[in-house]
A and B are shown apart, each in its own frame.
Chain A
């Protein structure tokens, strides 16, 4: 039994277009499945519009899927806002991108870190105080900083305070949605190292959502690559990053600038990420794919294992279709 299990979750949004027209149905997440265990890290990467944030929210039960199922510790996730769901908040927490937005400007961070304890009535007041002190220490903040307000701290310190608050109720699952994207490079390193250490110490299950492939390699044990609401590739960071099987992953990997790497030829794909409301037929990537064949336009490739450490959703990767005859290097 996995700690967290998502099976074929789908999330649709209805976009209103005025009082006299039918609303547009946009599929932000179009069938995603994965499992996460305690002490393991799952990284989800993708660009804007791929549905990774929505998937993260569904994993925590903050949004109910329109199809498919989310199970936590073997039981179905209760509907958002219900009493059972609120009780589960102690077991799972989320960390967002903007630490300043996640913290209340008018309360000192010590109070905010202790808030989950107050809400869920965990421990006596003395125990709560001790726990807050321990948490501050765990995220490498000084005890005197408990009295500081968010604006008195740096970006990195704020994000660590957010982490401390997330860990207050001793959760088993932590979902981080772009937790370090708003920070400087040197601060990112601090927070990422901290996350890795905390996960090891507390045996947390970690879902790390990011657009930054390099970070994902650092922190992930398994990587899910999402495009337009679907998982196009899945595997270990080594497999996905160094031997990507899906053309999109290949393009993504080669798009990443690496310090020290000078002008190397790479597969820069053209085109824009399509609007989720105007989903291409068949494989969602086919309009931009350098190796697309007629089958790709018609049939959606399923996510199938390619090897023990890698799965991919591509007809050509599995040999289900012949590669195009002559194709100039992109």
Chain B
């Protein structure tokens, strides 16, 4: 058991290190920040001074090591745009993102899982096909199309909800719906196939043969077993939603991490970008680690294989 966890922790840490290193190299190689910040017509002295101030003249490996040194001390550098410490900037944007990601995740689960289970129980009927069609629509329609569509209907035409910005809880509704539908669609599809597979297993029939009423068989044997693989999808969805947040926050002018990332990339504010990437990597890796451990706890066969 301990081995199980330790191994995964090691892997998680390695992933984070690799992601950050990759980002580091790419950002440094993708263009000179000084040009972007100071403009293409800046005099060479100003550029040199800028580079000197930000340590950009040092060799790459030294910058890399210094960067990691900084992280271990909690210092992610300063923003090139306004000079503030990056960590503070990034952390201040987190609550806004959580405000839409949290509810969106809950919405996905609340709609997706029951929807998928329902479709599986009524397999190959009209209901099943309708739910699956909706789900296909849900994950093929790009989130900005969905978002803009919702804005058009609910803000422009009906004037029920604001079109953007972060003011009052009603302004969160459309972004949450946009983020949540895509996730619900994926979850529905996955739950349906997991449920359908479980329903076809001999032990479901054996449970019925025992005399258990159908509802009990579904609730206590089928659904819980189908949820086990579904849990892993939820872990994956956390990452997908973070990515989705970038688009959704831009569409709705929501001042969260996603928007911050877009701005920082555009202005080559390397430190901010790296910090956000670090955070995203840690979040995703943690989410997947939690899901992995959960899976091991829910399905005793996994641990048995690891133990043998």
Contact = CB atoms under 8 A, between A and B. Distances in A.
A contacting B, Cβ–Cβ less than 8 Å: yes
Contacts of B306: 18
A110 to B, nearest CB: 35
Contacts of B169: none
Contact of A19 (B7, B307, B308): B7
Nearest to A19: B7
A21 B307 CA distance: 10
Interface string A14-30: 01011111001000000
Nearest to B308: A17
11 contacts: A15-B308, A17-B307, A17-B308, A18-B3, A18-B7, A18-B306, A19-B7, A20-B3, A20-B7, A21-B3, A24-B308
Given A15-B308, A20-B7, 9 more contacts: A17-B307, A17-B308, A18-B3, A18-B7, A18-B306, A19-B7, A20-B3, A21-B3, A24-B308
Nearest to A21: B3
Contacts of A24: 308
A24 B3 CA distance: 17
B229 to A, nearest CB: 22
Contacts of B3: 18, 20-21
B interface, how many residues as a size bin?
Answer: under 10
Nearest to A24: B308
Contacts, number: 11
Rank and list the top 8 A-B pairs by shortest CB-CB distance, nearest first: A20-B3, A18-B3, A17-B308, A18-B306, A19-B7, A15-B308, A18-B7, A20-B7
A18 B7 CA distance: 9
Contacts of A18: 3, 7, 306
Contacts of A20: 3, 7
Interface in A1-55: 15, 17-21, 24
Nearest to B10: A19
Nearest to B4: A18
Contacts of B307: 17
Interface in B1-36: 3, 7
A17 B7 CA distance: 13
A214 to B, nearest CB: 29
A15 B307 CA distance: 12
Contacts of A19: 7
A21 B308 CA distance: 10
A18 B1 CA distance: 11
Interface string B53-95: 0000000000000000000000000000000000000000000
A202 to B, nearest CB: 43
- Taking each of B7, B306, B307, B308, which has the highest tally of chain A beta carbons within 10 Å of its own beta carbon? B308
Nearest to A15: B308
Contacts of A21: 3
A303 B29 CA distance: 73
B1 to A, nearest CB: 11
B291 to A, nearest CB: 20
Interface in B264-308: 306-308
Interface string A55-78: 000000000000000000000000
B300 to A, nearest CB: 17
Contacts of B7: 18-20
A19 B6 CA distance: 11
A20 B307 CA distance: 11
B264 to A, nearest CB: 39
A57 B189 CA distance: 43
Nearest to B7: A19
A17 B308 CA distance: 5
Interface string A154-183: 000000000000000000000000000000
Nearest to B306: A18
A24 B308 CA distance: 9
A276 to B, nearest CB: 13
A21 B3 CA distance: 10
Contacts of A15: 308
Interface in A215-263: none
A15 B305 CA distance: 11
A133 B50 CA distance: 85
A106 B265 CA distance: 52
B306 to A, nearest CB: 6
